[in-house]
Structures are given as C-alpha cells and as structure tokens.
Structure 1
Amino acid sequence: MSSELNEYLESVLTDLGGLGRYQFILTLVVLGSKATVAWSVLMQAFGGVMPDWSCEWHTESGEPFMSNVTFDKKCSLENTTEKLDCVSRKFDESMNTIVSEWDLVCDQYWIVSSITTIQMFGLLIGAFVSGHVGDLYGRKKTYYISILILLVFNVVGAFSTSWHMFAVVRFLVGVGCGWYLTIDITYLAELIPIKYRSVILSLPVWPIGAMSNGLMCYFLHDWKYIQIAAAVCCLPWFLGIFFITESYRWLISHGRIEEAYEVMIKIAKMNGRSPPNKQKLIDMVNLNEHVAKEKKYTLIDILRNKHLLKVTALLSFTWVSCGYGFYAISFGVAQLSGNLYLNMALLGLMESTSFVVCYFANCIGRKKSSFVFFLLSGITGITVGIVQFLDLSNEGVSINGLALTCKLCVACGWMALIIFTSELYPTVVRNIGFGFNNTMSRVGSMIAPQLIFASYRIPGIMFLLLGGLFIMSAFCLLLLKETNNLALKNTINDFSLPVKQNESLKTVDESETLFSEKSSSCVFLGHLISKDGIRPPPDRVKAISDYPQPKNIKELRRLLEQIFTWRSEQETAFKDLKYKLVNSDILSFPKFDLTFRLSVDTSARGIGYMLYQLDPDDETQKPRIIRFGSKSLRPWQQSYGPTKLELLGMVVSILDCSDYLRGNSFIAECDHQALKPLYEKQFKGAIYERWMSILQQFSFEIVYKKADDMQVPDALSRCENSKAEVVESPVEDDPFFPFVEDVCGKVKLPNGQHFSELIASKVADVQAVHIRTDNAYDADTFISDPYDADTDASDDNIRKKSVRKMSKHRRTKSDTGIVEKTLTTSVFEIYQFLPKEYYNCNVRISH
C-alpha cells in the first residue's frame, strides 16, 4: 500500500476521535485480559517451587532409622552402615505445588523444569499459528480464540490426575498464551493513533498481572485454585464482543472495503464523530495499485523480501534473548533469598516501571531505547553471574538487588522491542512477522527452565548466558531502521515497489523494452507512456502539480474552506490533494458528442481555468475534467480593470484549449456579469479589437456562475506561483491568431452578393474596411518594432503610438475604399452578417 494511503488511514483514525471512547474500551478489553495471561504463564513460578520436605527413613528390616532426627530435603543418607529407604515424604503444608502433589523431588525433579519447557513450547506453537490465523481470518476472531483456549484448559488443568496429564494441559495453556501474546499488540497498534500508540502499548498490564499473581499465590497457596482463578478471570472479557470491532486496516489490506467502512462508522458513532467520506476512502484504495485482493500471506512472503528477511533475522535473535532473560529470572525466583511471595511481587514491580519506555520511545526513538536497555541488561546479568560463581559472603542481598535491576532492564528493553517490532512489518504480514518473533522468544523461554536446573550445579551460568545474549542483541538493533513518528506500512510492496506495467499493455522483459535510454517515454493519445507505466502529460497537470503552498488564512479558506494551522499533517494532506488531482483517474478523455464547458476566473494575480464536460447519463453528474490551467499576469496587466481582466482571461483560456474548442460549440463560464452581453458592448481600442477578433473564431455562449461555484479556477487564478507561465500577447505569426493571409474563395452572402464584392464596394448594407491584397506598406510608415498588444505601449510608448496612428492614417487614405466606421464595429458587423459556417474564413486586415 502506498505511503499516501498509509497516511490517509492514520488521518482517518485521528478524524474518528483519536483516543476516544472506542479506544478506551478496546484497550480495557485487550490489555485487561493480559493480566489473566500473565497468571497462566507464571503459574509455574509458584507451581514448580519445591516446598520444604523431609523423608521418613526405614532400614531393610522395616525399622525406623533415627526417628527423632529431621533430615530436610535429603534424597540419600551417607556414612551409614545400613541400606536405607525413604518410605514417605512429608511436605510443608503452607503451600501445595505440583512438586508436593506428585512427589517430584530428587531423581524426579527434572520433571518440573520439563513441564515448564513443555508449557513454553506451547507458547511457541501458539505464537506461530496465531500469526498466520490473525492475518488470514482477522484480529478480533484470533483474539477471542486465545481467551477461549485459556478459559477451557485452565479449568481442565485444575483437575489433572497425573503429572503426565498436567504436562499436556500446560502445553495447551501455553498455546493459548502464545496465541494471545501475538495478536494483542498487533490488534491495538492498528486501532490506536500513532501519537498515543507507544503509551498504550507500554501500559504495565503484564507487570500488574505478575504482582497480583504473587498476591494471589499468597492467599490461595494451591496450584489448583490458582488455575481455576485464572479461568474465571477470562469470562468478563467476552463482553467486549459487542463493543470492539475488527481492524479496518486488516479489512482494507484484504480488499474488504465495505466492511472496513462499516467499522469506521461504528468507531465514529462510539466516539461521537462523523464517519469519513466513503467515496474518498474508495478512491484512495483504488489509487493504490498494491492493495491485496484477498491474498493469503504466509511466512514465505516475508522471507522472499530482502528487507523483511534482514529485519526478521535480526529481530529473531533479539527476541530469543528477551524470552530467555525474562523467564529465566521469573521462573528462577525460588533461587533468590528471602520470602518467595515478596520476591514474586518485587519482580512484578520492577516490570511495572517499564511504563517509562513510552517516554524514551517517543523522545529518542524505538531503536535507541531498545539498545540502551538491552546493553544495561547485559551488564547487570554478567555482574550477577560473576557474583554467584565466586560464591561471596553476604551475596544474598547483592544478588537480589542486581537480579531485580536486571529484570527491570530486561522488561523495559522487551517492551521497547515490542513497539519497535509491531511497526517494522506491514499490515498484511504484521501478525505473521510479530508471531514469528514471538515464536522465537519461546525458544529462549524453553531454554530458561533447563538453565535454571543447571544453575543448581553450576552457579552463575544462567545469568552469564543472559548477559552475553543481551549485549549481542543490543548491537543487532543498530542495523535496523527507526520507525518513530512514521505511518504504518500496509503491504510488502511499500518497502520495494516493483515496476508494474499497465494491465492493458503487454509486460515485456527489460531486454525487450520498447524504450531505450535515449528515448524513455512518448506521448500517445494524450497519455505519457514510459517503461514505468502510463501517466498524464506534465503540461496538462502542470497547474496543479506546481500549485504552491498557501501562505495565509485567506488562501487556505479558498482552497480548503476551513481555517487551521499548517503543520506536517497539513503539508502531507496538501501533497496528497495535488497527487489525486493530477492522477490519470481524475483527467478524462474528451467526448466530442458532449458539450465542452470552460470555467474561467481571473484575479489580480493571474488566470485560472478548468475544461470539463458533464455526461447526462451519469447519475452522479461528476464533471469529466479534461484540463487544468493557470497563468500569471505581468505587472502592467495587473492594473487592468475587472472587465478587461476577465476578458483577457477568457481569450487566454480559450486559446489554450483551442485544440478542443475550435469547430465546436461550447459554454464559457465566468463570475463576471459584464461579460454576458459580450458582443453587444462597444469596446474601443486596439487591445479589444485583437481580443474580440480572436473570440469571433469560436462559437460559444457565456454563462454566469456564482463565485462559490467557481472554486477550482478561482483557486488556480489566485495562487502566487513563481513557476506558473505568464500571459503572452498573441503575435502575428501565431497560427491561432486570425490576422493571417488566406484565400476566401467565392463565398456568397445570403443576399447573393460575393464576399469580395461586399468588401470592395463603396456602398454596402454594412460598412466595412477595405481589404488590401497587395500587403504593400510604405517602408517609412511600417512599424516593425515589437510591442505588447495588451498595453499599446513599450519603452517609447508615446513615440510609437504617434507613429502607429500616422501609419494607420496613411494606409487608410491610400485605400480605394472608404472607412465610415471604426475597425471594431466593421469587423463585428461583417461577422454578424455572415452565416455561422463562414466564421472561420480568415482574411488579413490592414490596420
């Protein structure tokens, strides 16, 4: 999807209310349910804890061995002469975990870490599947599937009869968690304005869930009750089905425009705003050649694009590091000194401070924020690992403080990375890309429980690996591009738009192209054709493409009919407006069976016009625009009176469009009443004679229109544009100027008299000037100096005016004919006397 459409969709979100009531409900439902997901994932942080326990030892004969002595957490007794068996274990009744439920200690303690790994493998599968499901079937459906999975299998897990069944159920719960953690960020990012996106996505809902998980474990202290509580908390979020909608970005990217507009109407209604213009939405989508038409995207589409492949490779490594670091500290909470429940709450509290990421993400950018926190995570992780390995005295407090700091940096870095990742992928594959990276994070989270188990034997190995991974990930982020304050991309082609041939032309290989390096384009049937496709010729849309930026409120009101502050958003909208006006879908081919309409307006700055037609068979009566035009006036022309300016604009506009208008009857529209009785007015002066002679070549009717209905030519005439063409006066060698020598032939008038006889006659029904055929001017009276016909003046205007008057007087006296009326009146009467089909018979008139 083009950048113009991306920016338009962002502006639509702002027009629909920005951060309104709908966004509040959406955030409450989607992010609120994340606390439930946190309980489901972190249940193993409590469920896998080994309570204090003791063993009752018996000899081979069945006699108790030293029954008055307590051997806490002893899997075997050394330095005994008899073979002893642990006949029963007694666990601390203050908590009930899966360890005490199924006696998973000593040689079976590996089962606990394995169940956690299986759960995280479920997150991996859920993230991978959710990415594809979300992009194929929509964000809303995918979200509610994840909540349904958590509801069902948390209840089933509470009634597990063996650790084998529990492991299977934890895998399915992991699938639901991974499913959710892939769709929630994508869902919100597409319906939250860019201004508030980082703030909303950084809300510390997961940390709140982690802290409340510690509180819930403290009060319930039974893994079964914790599972049921997590399931019950899933129920309220199903009420959101009636309020939240599908992502309109996703609908548009799949070509479902009508559904997308219905979503916009619902959002606008909830926010108390008016829905956007439907036709504008359709036009913007139609202008975009790369909108997906129900195309089904997969991970292969990401890997085929070089840019997305690079992004995915770098992000995958960083997400593996985040998954490992986050869950290694969370599931390894039992290794910290002090109260278990307090440590769980403190770890959640450290995560909650990740809210500050939104400030850094907006101020210094997504990439720099992630880099800083990743680097700090690596440094603190290595420090904790070294302290644990050296086994220093009083290391408990030091390890706890450093571990909490490391958890803070990991949480903040991962939050910044989540925002960064959600903006690096286009809409059509955003969920797939985010899901794939989420999947890679589950690889790290699967490794974490095994490293926790290994750290009991090799102190510090877990944190040393964490530090190394995060330092390497920090430098990987430097190879990615910043996304702060950029519109979200919609299609893969937005990264590298391919050269697309027009569908009506045959696509050829580069070696077979019709255009060489020297001749890269050609104009054919009014279109500019090149190897890049078909576009309007620049001269037809020059007036729009060169339209300058408005410089004051008055100009803005004329252009957009509203007052606002010109910022980057308005600059983008202004460029978008010009782009749409010059697009080939706006300009149309002329239909010569329809009446041409030339809308002209002249101001003190310039001339603007629009040539168009109205099709009576078109129910919308949308004008078929053929050409725009704009020209600037010279300084002396700006001093003309209103009628003179409007007449000059009419002449210039008609000559510019003469290819379409010559030989056709057309309607000239203006907002100046004085031009309506054009031929009834007695204009005096050489300027008017030349202008009226030009207009009499054409057959047209002048129609008055109010200024409010002339907005396009009015805007074109009033713009201050240094690139606009200036008005040039007609010259004698101009092929469109009527003063050219031609042979009229034996043209008969309605009374039977030949036209040549009428001109030569001394007495005629109408008075006319004599036509000289020898074109013999006296050398001393012929004025060859060029001058501007609009002013009758040049540098020595007084001298030249006198010479011209003398020259005209001499030529008139030397003629055999007698001039009894002014040139203007004579020419008018001749053309009024002739039938219409003779109007284009041109003769050379002696001045």
Structure 2
Amino acid sequence: MMLMAVVFAAPAEQNFRCNTLPGWMANEDQCTVRKVDSVIDTHDHNISTTDNSSMTERSDMVICTAWSFDHSVYKGTTLVDEWDLVCGRRWIASLSQSLYMFGLIFSTTIFSHVADWYGRKRACVISLVCSLLMGVLLACSPSMAVYNILRFFSAVSSSGYYDAATILLVESVSANQRYVVTLTAGLGWTVGMILLPVVSYLVPNWRVQQLVIAAPFVLLLGLTFFIDESPRWLLETGRLTQAHRTLIKVLRSRQKNRFSVTDDITVDDINNFIDDIKTRNAMIPHKSKGTIVKLFGEQFWRSTVVFCYSKMVVYVLWYHLTVSSVTVGLNPFLSFALTSLCELPNRVLDTIVVRTTPRRIAAASAFTITAGAMSVYYIFSNGFWFARFASLVICRLCMDVHGSVQRVHLAELYPSGLRSLIAGFVYTCANLAGLLSPFIDYLGQATYQWVPSVMIVLLCLIGSLAALSVKETFDRDLHEESS
C-alpha cells in the first residue's frame, strides 16, 4: 500500500477552482485570472503580478494563489488541498512518487547485500523497523518538502521485508512446494492493493491514512519472532551449528503436524548430513561474498540481462496501468479496487502456471498476451470504458503471472549466495525504468498518439523473445542449479 498511497493522498483528478476577488474572473484552467472591470490594487489582495502593482484591463493574466477544492469524491483532506498542489505546483506531487521510486533503487541495493551477507531474517527485521518509523514520521510531516524527503527514506527502508522474505521462503521449501511461496507472496500484495482504496475512502484524511497504512508493520515485526533463518543460507555461509538447530526444529515440527507429508528423515539423518558437509569441507567460511560482477560472469550474464529487461518492462507497464485505473470507469475508488480485486483469482492461475508450465514458456506467453491486450487498450482510448477496463485487467493479470514465474525462476537459476543479490539488482533496474512510466502519456502528446501503444507492444514482443533464451529450470531442485 505504501507504494501507491499517493494515488489517493494526492489525487491528480481532484477538481478545484480559483478563488477570485470582485472584478476578477478565473480562466478555464483555474490557474490564472483576468480583470473584468475597474483597476484593483493587488498589494491588498492575494494576487501576484509581474510588477507587484495595480492591474488595468490592458494587463496580462495573473497567477491565482488561492483555490477551493471539490470534496464530492475525495471527501477529506488531501495533500493537494492542504498544500495547494495544483497548476504550477502539481509537479511536487509527481516528484513525491519519483522520489519513492528512486528510493527503491537504494533499498534493493542495500537490502540485497544485507540479506546475502547477514541473513534473510535480519534484513526483514531491519527493514520493518525502519519502515514503521518512516510511516509514523510521514503522518507528522509539517510541509510537502519534508513529506517528500521522508517518502524517499520510506522507500529506502521498504525492500527488505518483501524481497528478503520471499527469498527466505523459497529457500525453505522443496521444489514441489515453491508454488506456495508464489501464492502467499502475491496474495499479500493483491490484498494490500484492494485495501488501499477502501482505507482511503473510509479514512479520508491523508495523515490518518498514513498511520493506518503503517500499522501492519507492527504485526509483521511480531511475526519475525516465530520464523527461523533460511537453512540453505546458513549452510551456504558455513553456519552449520545454526543450520543443524534449525533443521532439527523443522523436523520436530513436521513430526507433530499430522497433516504434513510423512517421510523417512530422522534426527540421525540430519546429524549425518551436517557431519558429511564438515567432512567434505563444504562449508564456506572464507568464500568471497556475492557481488554484482558475478551476475555478469560467463555463467549468468545472459539470464541477468534478460531478467533485468523483463522486469523493467513489467514495472513501466504495471505502474502506468495501475495509476491509469483511477481514470477508467465512473469512480476512482471503485475502479482501483475492482482492477486490484480481479487479481485475486489470479493467485490460483499463478499457482497452476508455476507448478505446470516451464518458466520460459510462461514468461514468453505472458508478454505476448500483454502485447495484444495493450493494443486493444489504446485502440479504445476514446471510449468503450468496459473494453479498456477488461484490457487493463488482462495486462495486470499477465504481468502478475510473469512476476510470480520470475521470482521462482531466479531462485532456481542462481545459487544461494547470489539469489538475494540478483533479486535486488533486477528490482533496481526495474525501479530505474519505473521513473519513466509517468511520462508515457506525455510521449504521445509530444509526438503522435499512437507512439506509446506501439512502443509498449514492441517492448513486450522483445521481452517474449528474450524469455526463450534463458536456461530452463522447471521442476529442478535448487542445489542442482548452484553447482
């Protein structure tokens, strides 16, 4: 919810009108006013002029400096009406989202290294504590400048609790159970997107909204006391005592759970496994830490490039479509909620695709279908909101499937020492591309209306072809790809 909170905290579609003095009339854009009768002394009123003097009928238009805002849709206080983010100040609201996307770049870089060097669980805890603190401070912002600065640091602290947690889950389950990670991780994101318009509608004041959005971090912090570090990471980094303790704990938990699948693993098997690692000198206490350079080595450079490109396209398209969803239909809260709600059934589709479809085919198909749906979305740009809505839902569905498949594909293809790093690097590239997504519509205005649609379709088709060039890892154990 934190990522898209600005959609309702600073709505671009909130109507407003300029407050004019007697004898003055607002122009159609409500950003400037013009005089309609006698001379008026602007020193005595809230009107700016080029020479700070009186205006006559021959004077140019002057800038409006006070507005009234329509609260028929956005009923409470928004960032827009509290700090007059309209006309020449509208860019400040856009800057807030750009700063958040920019902060995510630092976040993925920082926490991918923290997770690989110091552990998945520790990265989660640090990220949650910082996110909770930033969320509370955001609600107390005394100015838009402070709000934007805090929003940047809020983004910096956000990556660990999602990326590191996903890697921890993937490393803690067997190959045939990875679909559970896809289901649960994606479900949490979708529920958050559905709840955002609900919270914004029920709690119309943006400051209270921010506190409500930050509240779940307290619950998540509490849950960290009940999770263990990734056994694979502990083994990979030579922490064999901790790994042994964690594996014994998992085994005893499975033995107590009457619903778990029975197997022949015993405590002696785990002891022998750890002893075997020691005997074969397989622990890695002096092994160099994973770096970005290794991602572009001979073994991984192709997959790294493809994954980065694919995620960049997905981010640009997903963000653009998500923001655009408030303009499709009659009510922004309802449109946003419905498009997000349509992703819930997609959790089942994600599960089916991850369990049954080769990774390359799934990714390529998602891009191809998206290209077709985007063509329909732009063809009906001047009407037929239902067709546009359906196209938007299909695109988001395909992008969601692609994201689920790629998360698992990354974990299967890269060794434990690089998994969090590659995930962070891919998301860093994606966030860089995400900075450009607000300008897609402006591209059409600056050139031709068809340019954005052709560009998006071509990017998707290229992504489809690129996905077929990556090594297939479907239904293989993680350790098979790390050797």
Secondary structure in 2 matching 1:90:
strand
Gap change, CA 1:299 and 1:184, over 3 Å in 2: same
SS at match of 2:19: strand
Q: Are 1:432 and 2:421 matched, yes or no?
A: yes
Look up the match of 1:245: 228
Contact 2:116–2:417 at 8 Å: present in 1 too?
yes
* 1:149 shift after superposition: 1.6
Contact 2:366 2:402 in 1 (8 A): yes
User: Would the alpha carbon gap of residues 276 and 120 (structure 1) be closer, same or farther in structure 2, given more than 3 Å must change?
Assistant: farther
Query: Would the aligned equivalents of 1:328 and 1:452 in 2 still touch at CA under 8 Å?
Result: no
Residue from 414, 439, 452 that aligns with 1:450: 439
Report the Cα distance in structure 1 between the residues aligned to 2:472 and 2:141, rounded to whole angstroms. Answer: 48
Structure 2 gap ranges (5+): 37-56, 257-265
Q: Distance in 2 between matches of 1:338 and 1:288?
A: 66
Shift of 1:276: 5.1
Note if contact 2:326-2:333 (Cα within 8 Å) is conserved in structure 1: no
Q: 2: CA distance between counterparts of 1:125 and 1:352? A: 30
Q: Which residue of the partner structure matches residue 362 of structure 2? A: 369
CA separation in 2, counterparts of 1:334 and 1:407?
14
Aligned residue for 1:297, secondary structure, equals coil
Instruction: Tell me the equivalent position of 1:381.
Output: 374
1:357 to 328, 338, 350: 350
Instruction: Confirm whether residue 306 of structure 1 aligns to residue 298 of structure 2.
Output: yes
Deviations 1:641-698 (A, max 9, x none): xxxxxxxxxxxxxxxxxxxxxxxxxxxxxxxxxxxxxxxxxxxxxxxxxxxxxxxxxx
Question: 1:750-792: per-residue Cα shift (whole Å, max 9, x none)?
Answer: xxxxxxxxxxxxxxxxxxxxxxxxxxxxxxxxxxxxxxxxxxx
Q: 2:327 aligns with which of 335, 347, 368?
A: 335
SS, match of residue 158 in structure 2: helix
Q: 1:238 to 1:181 in 2, by over 3 A?
A: closer
**2:158 paired residue number:** 177
CA drift of 1:295 comes to 2.7
Residue type at the aligned position of 1:75: C
Q: Which structure is larger by alpha-carbon Rg, 1 or 2?
A: 1
Q: Which amino acid aligns with 2:285?
A: K
Residue identity over aligned pairs, in percent, reads 22
1:59-458 correspondence runs (5 A): 63-66=22-25, 74-76=30-32, 83-93=61-71, 94-203=75-184, 204-272=187-255, 275=267, 277-286=269-278, 288=280, 291-303=283-295, 305-355=297-347, 356-388=349-381, 391=382, 394-451=383-440
The one-character-per-residue Cα deviations of 1:177-203 (angstroms, maximum 9, x if unpaired) are 223332122011011222121233233
Residue pair 1:291, 1:491 contacting (<8 A) in 2 also: no
The verdict on how the C-alpha distance between 1:71 and 1:339 changes in structure 2, with shifts beyond 3 A counting, is farther
Q: CA deviation at 1:382?
A: 3.0
Separation in structure 1 between the aligned mates of residue 76 and residue 451 of structure 2, nearest angstrom: 29
Instruction: Name the CA shift for 1:463/1:208 in 2 (closer, same or farther; >3 Å).
Output: farther
Q: Structure 1 139/409 Cα, relative in aligned 2: closer, same or farther at 3 Å?
A: same
1:40, CA displacement in angstroms?
Answer: 0.9
The one-letter code matched in structure 1 to 2:374 is: G
Deviation at 1:290, TM superposition (A): 5.4
User: Aligned equivalents of 2:409 and 2:320: distance in 1?
Assistant: 23
Give the superposition deviation at 1:255.
0.9
Query: CA separation of 1:284/1:477 partners in 2, compared to 1, >3 Å: closer, same or farther?
Result: farther
Q: Is the 8 A contact 1:357 1:412 kept in 2?
A: yes
- Normalising by structure 2, we get a TM-score of 0.85
| Closer, same or farther: CA 183–465 of 1 in aligned 2, 3 Å | farther
Residue 658 of structure 1 corresponds to none
> Mapping of 1:735-814 within 5 angstroms?
none
Superposed CA deviations along residues 500-527 of structure 1, whole A, max 9, x for unmatched, are: xxxxxxxxxxxxxxxxxxxxxxxxxxxx
Correspondence for 1:49: 11
Do 1:380 and 1:402's aligned partners in 2 also have CA atoms closer than 8 Å?
A: yes
Take 1:267 and 1:385, find their aligned partners in 2: how far apart are those partners? 51
Match of 1:480 among 467, 470, 473: 470
Is the Cα–Cα contact under 8 Å of residues 323 and 443 in structure 1 kept in the other structure?
no
Residue 397 to residue 135, structure 1, CA distance change in 2 (3 Å): same
Give TM-score, length-normalised by structure 1: 0.50
Aligned pairs (5 A) from 1:352-751: 352-355=344-347, 356-388=349-381, 391=382, 394-451=383-440, 459=449, 462-489=452-479, 494=483
- Structure 1: how far apart are the matches of 2:406 and 2:115? 20
Alignment correspondent of 2:262: none
Shift of residue 463, structure 1, vs aligned partner? 4.8
| Aligned residues of 1:214 and 1:345 also touching (Cα < 8 A) | yes
Partner-residue secondary structure (3-state), 1:40: coil
Alpha-carbon distance in structure 1 between the residues aligned to 2:461 and 2:144: 38
In 2: Cα distance, 1:77 partner to 1:455 partner = 30
AA partner of residue 202 (structure 2): F
Any idea what SS the aligned residue of 1:313 has? helix
Per-residue CA distance 1:371-429 (angstroms, 9 max, x = gap): 111111122123323433xx4xx343332232222222222222222222222211111
- Say what the alpha-carbon RMSD is for the aligned residues: 2.5
Tell me how far 1:464 sits from its aligned partner: 4.4
Tell me the secondary structure at the aligned position of residue 161 of structure 1.
Answer: coil
Distance of aligned partners of 1:287 and 1:381 in 2 relative to their CA distance in 1, 3 Å threshold: farther
Counterparts of 1:291 and 1:473 in 2: how far apart (Å)?
A: 38
Higher relative CO (CA 8 A, sep ≥ 6), structure 1 or 2?
2
Q: Distance in 2 between matches of 1:276 and 1:229?
A: 48
Give ranges in structure 1 of 5+ residues lacking alignment.
Answer: 1-38, 495-847
Q: CA deviation at 1:352?
A: 2.3
SS of alignment partner, residue 479 of structure 2: coil
For residue 271 of structure 1, report the CA deviation from its aligned partner: 2.9
Contact persistence 1:297–1:428 (CA under 8 A): yes
1:479 alignment partner, SS class: coil
Quick one: distance in 2 between partners of 1:360 and 1:177? 28
Q: Kindly tell me: are residues 462 and 288 of structure 1, through their superposed partners in 2, closer, same or farther at Cα, counting changes over 3 Å?
A: farther
Contact residue 124 and residue 178 of structure 1 kept, 8 A: no
SS of alignment partner, residue 399 of structure 2? helix
Higher helix proportion, which one? 2
Instruction: Tell me how far apart the structure 2 counterparts of residues 288 and 446 of structure 1 sit (CA, whole Å).
Output: 48
Shift of 1:476: 0.9
